[in-house]
Amino acid sequence: MTGRMRVIVPWLLVLGGPAAVGLAGLLLLLGFRDQLPDPVAVHWGADGADGFASPDRALLLVWTGPVAGAAFGALTLAVYRADQALRRHAASLATGFATFVTAVVVGSLWQQRGLADATAAQDPDLVLVVALLLTLAFGVGAAALAPGDRPGAAVATGPVPAASPRVPLGPDERVAWSAWTAASPAVLTVLAVALLPLAALAAAGIAPLFLLLVLLLVLVLTTATMSARVWVDQRGLTVRSPLGWPRHWVPLAEVAAAAAVDVHPLRDFGGWGYRIGRGGRSGVVLRRGPALEVTRGDGRRFVVTVDGAAEAAALLTALTARARG
Amino acid sequence: MLVRVDPGSPEPIYAQIAAGVRREVAAGRLRSGERLPGARDLAAALGVNLHTVLRGYQELRDEGVVELRRGRGAVVTDRAPRIAGPAAALRAFVAEARRAGLSAAEAAAMVREEMS
C-alpha cells in the first residue's frame, strides 16, 4: 500500500462507510414505506409510544446517524496525527455510529408495518439489541479495513540521547522489568457509581435486554482497559491488558528515546484509559503521576503510567544502547 | 520488579531468578500480596526456558517467599519481607556448609548457637 493510499483509504472509510449504511437503511425503508401508518411512532416512554412524526420526517431521521458518524470520524482524522490505531478508531467510530442510529430508526419503523395506528407500536428493545450487535460487527469490520502502518516506518536509527540515564548492563546479561499498573481507586469508583443504576435494574430483573448487553459490554471494556501489565525487556516495551487485548508493543528497534515523565490524565490526555493526547502522544494513562514515555523513530510518543517509571526508562535506554550503540 | 540473568555465571539461571525476586522483596519493591508476572511471560521476557522460571518460582515457594495459587500464579506472602533477606543469606551459608562437608545437623547447630 502506498503512502497516498494510507491517507485516502481512511477518508473513504470515514465518509463512505456511513454513506453506505445510510443508503442501505434508506433503501430498506423505501421498500416498506407504504405499509407504515401516518403518523409513525418515533419515541417511546414507560407507557408505550408517545412521540409521533410523519413517515417522510422519519425518512430524514435515517440520515442523522450517517451524517453525525461521518462528522465525528472526519474530525478525528483531521485533528490528530494519523497512525494505524487512529485510522481504525476513526473508521469504526464513523461506521459504528452510523450503523447504530440507522438500525434503530429502520428497525423501529419496520416493526410498525401493517399497523393501522402508531400508538400500538411495539417498543424497540429487541431492535436496540440487534442494532448494538450490528454496530459491533460493522465497527470492527471498518477498523479491520483501515490501513496499517508501513512496516519499519517507526524504526529508530542512531544512538539514544547520550544524557539519558541508564542502568549498568553486561554484554550478555538478560534483564527484564515488569510492573502492574491500574486505574486509581477514585476513577474506578466513579465508573462504578455511574453503572449503579444500570446494575440495580439488572439485579432487580427489570432491565431490558439492551441495557443488560450494554452493562456487559462496559464491564468487559473496563476490565480490559483499566489495568495492565508493563514489560521492559529484550523485546522492547509491552503493555498488555489482563484480557490479552488491547496490547501495545514498541519493539526495541523502534525506541529512539525513553524517559520518565509526569502525567496528568485529564489535562494531558482528556481522560483515563487508552488515549490519544495532545502533541502526538498516545498512551495507556490510568492515573496521575510518573509514567514511562517512549519516543519512536518517527517521532511518535507512547506513554504508560506506571510506578517505577524511572528504573524502567533507564533499563529501556540501556537495552537500546546495547543493541544499537 | 527487575530480574537480571547472566548466562555466563556459574550460578544456575533458575537460582539467579529466585535471587532477583528475593532482592526485590527485601528492598520493598515487591510487597506482600503482589503477584509475580506469569512464568511464561517472564520466560519470554528473559529469553529463557519456561521450566527454568518455574523452578525458580518453586524455590521461592519452598522458602515461603511466594505462594503458588491456582489462577493467580505466584503471590508474595505476608512473611516474605521478613524472610527474603535471611533466605538469600541462607543459600550462601548452606552452599558453604556443603562445601565444608557439614551435615544438616551440624549446620543447624551452628545456626542455633549463633542465634542464642
| Segment A298-322, tens digit of pLDDT | 889 999 999 999 999 999 999 999 9
If you average pLDDT over residues A276-299, what whole number do you get? 90
Q: Does A323 touch chain B (CB under 8 A)?
A: no
Contact A234 B1 (CB under 8 A): no
Whole-number average pLDDT of chain B:
93
Beta bridge partners of residue A301, listed in sequence order: A281, A295
- B80 burial (CB, 10 Å; 0-12 / 13-18 / 19+) is buried
The ipTM, to two decimals, is 0.88
pLDDT digits (tens, 9 = 90+) for B46-98: 999 999 999 999 999 999 999 998 888 899 999 999 999 898 898 889 999 99
Is pLDDT of B102 > 90? yes
pLDDT digits (tens, 9 = 90+) for B10-31: 999 999 999 999 999 999 999 9
pLDDT digits (tens, 9 = 90+) for B30-45: 999 999 999 999 999 9
CB A148 within 8 A of CB A6: no
| Amino acid A140: pLDDT | 94
| Amino acid A209: pLDDT | 86
Instruction: For residue A72, give Cα distances in angstroms to A76, A78, A277.
Output: 6, 10, 17
What cell numbers appear for A135 in the block? 454496530
pLDDT digits (tens, 9 = 90+) for A64-79: 999 999 999 999 999 8
CA distance A64 to A75: 16
CA gyration radius for chain A? 24
Which residue would you say has higher pLDDT here, B42 or A276?
Answer: B42
| Amino acid A152: pLDDT | 83
Chain B neighbors of A310, CB-CB under 8 A: none
Which three-class secondary structure state does DSSP give residue A240? Answer: strand
Whole-number average pLDDT of chain A:
91
pLDDT digits (tens, 9 = 90+) for A76-129: 999 887 788 889 999 999 999 999 999 999 999 999 998 888 888 888 889 999
What cell numbers appear for A193 in the block? 457509581
| Amino acid A114: pLDDT | 87
Segment holding A191, helix H or strand E? helix A185-204
Nearest CA in chain A to B48: A174
Contact A231 B45 (CB under 8 A): yes
Beta bridge partners of residue A176, listed in sequence order: B3
A66 Cβ contact list (under 8 Å, min separation 6): A18, A19, A21, A22, A98, A101, A102
Q: How confident is the model at residue A197 (pLDDT cuts 50, 70, 90)?
A: confident
Contact B42 A177 (CB under 8 A): no
CB neighbours of residue A287 within 10 Å: 19
- Per mean pLDDT, which of A40-49, A143-152, A167-176 is the most reliable? A167-176
If you average pLDDT over residues B91-107, what whole number do you get? 93
The residue with cell 401516518 is A38
Segment holding B62, helix H or strand E? helix B50-63
Is pLDDT of A325 > 70? no
Q: How many CA atoms lie within 13 A of A117 on its CB side?
A: 4
CA distance A224 to A226: 6
pLDDT digits (tens, 9 = 90+) for A154-166: 898 888 888 889 9
Contact A234 B7 (CB under 8 A): no
Instruction: For residue A302, give Cα distances in angstroms to A30, A256, A272, A320, A322.
Output: 48, 11, 15, 16, 21
Chain A nearest CA to B108, separation (Å): 35
